[in-house]
Structure 1
Amino acid sequence: MDLTKAIETLLHGPGEPMAGSMMTNDEALEYSRATFNGAPFCLVRNWIWVELEVSEGRRDDLAAMQLHPVVLYAHSIVYDSSRRWDVGDFVRTTLLHEFTDGFVFRTKNTHYVLLGDGLCKQAHPKTLALNH
């Protein structure tokens, strides 16, 4: 595997179009504050839904932990309620815990609100420096 090419393809190559929320940034901020009851949230744009290529055994192990072999990569943070990242930074999440409302990607720690259109892609975990 040519890791550099795999990373470049993941971040900048084509993918399957996927729709997020069409809310404005202000609407998404209001929605998140009203919906997540003080839990950490992050509004993102220009995002990629990354389905990790894992074995069935690994998929079963993750399911037992209530996780899915999916991570989110976002090129642009709009707002982070915990102030971990600045506006315009990128983020790669931990594994998906739950996907709700057609645009809320939830990890065990944070709700990520997917704004605008994104892409769905597949990748080997090593491409994202994950040991899955």
Structure 2
Amino acid sequence: MDELSAVTDLLYGPGTPMSGLSLTDDEAMAMVRQRFPFTEFCLVRDWLWLDLVVTPAEREQLSRTGRQPVLVYAHGVVYDSARRWDVGDFVRTSPLHVLHGEGLFQTWSTLYVLLGEGQRKRVALEMVGRIS
């Protein structure tokens, strides 16, 4: 499979269905502001949960820095409290720091609120660099 086909399959091919939060955009915003009043957050839809294929050494390095080998790629930003992305932009997160329950994916800097349905996929670390 050539590189373009591999990226296209990653972004648009089938994955394992995964549920995020079943909230409206306004309900999600209110919930985040109540539960995490001092945290930057980003509401996203049409997202991919990416389990990274890493070596034991890479896994250990992530663990030492309080991160896990998981990223989220979202096709649709709904709202970004820090105004880094506009509505409709795509976003690729940094590695997972804390999972606060279904649909609440936190990196070191941002809480990503996964709204609606998404997909889970396993991906090589090298491939992640191709979707930035």
Which residue number corresponds to residue 65 of structure 1? 65
C-alpha separation between the residues in 2 aligned to 1:126 and 1:4? 14
- For 2:77, the equivalent position in structure 1 comes to 77
Counterpart Cα distance in 2 of 1:109 and 1:63: 17
- Report what 2:109 is aligned to: 109
- Cα deviation, residue 5, structure 1: 1.8
Structure 2: stretches of 5+ with no match in the other structure: none
The one-letter code of the counterpart of 2:45 is R
Question: Unaligned stretches of 5+ in structure 1?
Answer: none
Percent identical pairs in the alignment equals 46
SS of 1:76's equivalent in the other structure is strand
| Structure 1 residue runs of 4 or more that deviate by more than 3 Å after TM superposition | none
TM-score under structure 1 normalisation? 0.94
User: Number of residues paired by the alignment?
Assistant: 130
Partner of 2:90: 90
RMSD: 1.2
**Distance (Å, rounded) in 2 between the aligned partners of 1:50 and 1:15:** 10
TM-score by structure 2 length? Answer: 0.94
